[in-house]
Amino acid sequence: MKGPGWLVWSSSSLFFCDVLCEALDLGAAEQQLGPCADLLLARNGQSDELMACRVPLLGSLHDDRIPGYTYNITEDCHFWASYAARDRHVEGSSVLGFTRLAAFRLNSPFKPPLRRNGTALYIGAHRSGDDGLVFQRRHGLHMHLFEPSPTYFEMLQDSLEGAPGFTLHNYGLGAKTRRAHLRLSGTASRIVNLTVPERTELEELEDLEPEGTEQVLIRSAAEAIPEVLQDKRAFVELLHINCEGCEYDVVHGLNQAGQLSRVGQIQIATHLLEYTGPSDDFQEALSLSLQISVKRYCEMHQTLALTHDRVWGLPWVWERWTRRPRSAG
Ligand SMILES: *[C@@H]1O[C@H](CO)[C@@H](O)[C@H](O)[C@H]1NC(C)=O
Ligand SMILES: *[C@@H]1O[C@H](CO)[C@@H](O)[C@H](O)[C@H]1NC(C)=O
Ligand SMILES: *[C@@H]1O[C@H](CO)[C@@H](O)[C@H](O)[C@H]1NC(C)=O
C-alpha cells in the first residue's frame, strides 16, 4: 500500500462549532450521500472525487448506513482505515469531529443493556478514570481499572478514594508479560518502543530509561484476566479500552486466552502506532506508521468479528462491538 500524502498528525483538538453549524453540516452530508455512495460502489471514481466524499461517507459508515453498502472487513477494512485518517479536513468537520464521535461511548444506549452489579474492565484508566465513574454510577457495575504508570496510578487512587465499586490494578494488559517504558503525557501516555539488546539486566534497563518515561509492567491478558475475574465463567458486561496503541495487543491477548467471547460489550479507542524503524524522511515515517497501524487495526477487526458485531464507530476514534447471541455463532 502506498501511503497517502494527506495524512497529518492531529491531536484530538476541539473544534467549537455551535449547534446550528453542526445541523447545516449534517444536512449537507445527507445531500451528498447518494452521489458519494454511487461513486463508492462504482469503484472507478477519481480518487480526488472520492476524497471529497469523506464527510458524508465516513459519517454514514459510522453506523453502517451507506445506501447499498455493508461494511465488509475482509474486503474493505484497509480501504476505510486509510480513508478515515484524521487529517485537518476530517477533524474540522463538525460531523466527524473527535468530540462528537467520542461522545457515543458514553451516550449511546447499550443493546442489550448493561446488567446492574455486572463486571467491567477499563484498560487505560489514566489519572482519574472518568469514564469508569460514569459507567459505575449509571449501571452499578463493578469496575476493574488498569493503569500501568505508577505516578498516574497513585493519582487515580487519590481521585477515586472512597468511591464504591472500583478495584484498581497497577499494570497494563498485553499479549505477553514484559517490562516496558511508558512516555507520560497529561492526556495520552504511550509505550515507547525501545530497542533493548537481548539479555539486558534489569539494572541496566533502568539506565536506558529515556527522559519523561516510567518503567511499567505489562501483564499477559491470558494470565491476568482469569486472576482478576476469579470466577472462570463470569460474564463481563463491558470492556472499555483507551490505551494509546495497546488496544491491538489487548484484544489479541484476550482472544488467545479464550476470554473475548465472555465479554458483552467492547468499546475501543483506536490509535495510530508510531513507526520507529529507519525511514528517509518525516513523510515516509508517517506513511509507514499508517501502514503498520492499518494492518494491526484490520487484524483486530477480524478477531472481534469472530464473536461480536460492529455497532458503530470509525477508525482512529471510538468504536463499539456487541456480542452476538451464542446460538448465532
Ligand atoms: C465479505 O467479502 C468476502 C470476500 O469477497 C465474502 O466471502 C464474505 O461473504 C463477505 N462478508 C460479508 C459479511 O458480506
Ligand atoms: C446488586 O447487588 C446488591 C448488593 O449485593 C443487591 O442488593 C441487589 O439486589 C443486586 N441487584 C441486582 C439487579 O442484581
Ligand atoms: C517495535 O519494535 C519491534 C522489534 O524491533 C518491531 O517488531 C515492531 O514493529 C516495533 N513496533 C513499532 C510500532 O514500531
Q: Which domains does the chain have, with CATH numbers?
A: 19-100 (no CATH), 103-324 (3.40.50.150)
Q: Average model confidence (pLDDT) for the chain? A: 86
In this structure, are residues 98 and 13 in contact, taking their beta carbons and an 8 Å threshold?
A: yes
* Mutate which of 75, 310, 324 for ligand 1 pocket (most atoms within 8 A of beta carbon): 75
Question: pLDDT confidence of 17, banded at 50, 70, 90?
Answer: very low
Q: Measure Cα distances from 145 to 132, 168, 240, 313 in Å.
A: 8, 5, 10, 23
Give the residue from 319, 322, 296 showing the smallest Cα distance to 309.
322
Q: Is the pLDDT of residue 103 over 50?
A: yes
The protein residue with its alpha carbon nearest to ligand 3, atom 1, reads 193
Confidence of residue 6 (pLDDT cuts 50, 70, 90): very low
Partner residues linked to 199 by β-bridges: none
Q: Is the pLDDT of residue 13 over 60?
A: no
Work out the average pLDDT over 11-37.
70
Q: What sign results for the dihedral spanned by CA atoms 258, 263, 266, 268?
A: negative
If one compares 56 and 204, the residue with the highest pLDDT of the two is: 56
- Structure confidence by residue, pLDDT tens digits, 229-275: 877 678 999 999 998 888 999 999 999 888 899 999 999 999 999 88
pLDDT digits (tens, 9 = 90+) for 181-215: 888 766 666 777 655 444 445 555 555 556 678 88
Bridge partners of 266, per DSSP, are 239, 321
Minimum-distance ligand to the CA of 74?
A: 1
What pLDDT is attached to residue 205? 52
Confidence of residue 320 (pLDDT cuts 50, 70, 90): very high
- Lowest-pLDDT choice from 9-23, 96-110, 244-258, 298-312: 9-23
CA dist 68 and 53 (Å) reads 16
CA distance 160 to 129: 8
How far is ligand 3, taken at its centre, from the CA of residue 254, in Å? 21
Query: Which pLDDT value is given to residue 116?
Result: 94
In this prediction, residue 316 has a pLDDT band, given cuts at 50, 70 and 90, of very high
Q: What percent of the chain has pLDDT over 90?
A: 62
Q: How far is the CA of 72 from the centre of ligand 1 (A)?
A: 6
Q: Give 118-160 pLDDT, tens digit per residue.
A: 999 999 998 899 999 999 999 999 999 999 999 999 999 999 9
pLDDT at 24 over 80: no
Q: How far is the CA of 20 from the centre of ligand 1 (A)?
A: 40
Q: What is the pLDDT of residue 134?
A: 96
Rounded distance, CA 230 to CA 138, Å?
24
Ligand showing the shortest atom-to-Cα distance for residue 302: 1
- Measure the CA–CA gap between 139 and 118, rounded to whole angstroms: 8
Say yes or no to pLDDT of 71 above 50.
Answer: yes
- Region for residue 139 given its phi and psi (left: phi exceeds 0; alpha: psi -120 to 50; beta: otherwise): alpha
C-beta separation of 264 from 238 below 8 A: yes
Lowest-pLDDT choice from 75-79, 102-106, 152-156, 278-282: 278-282
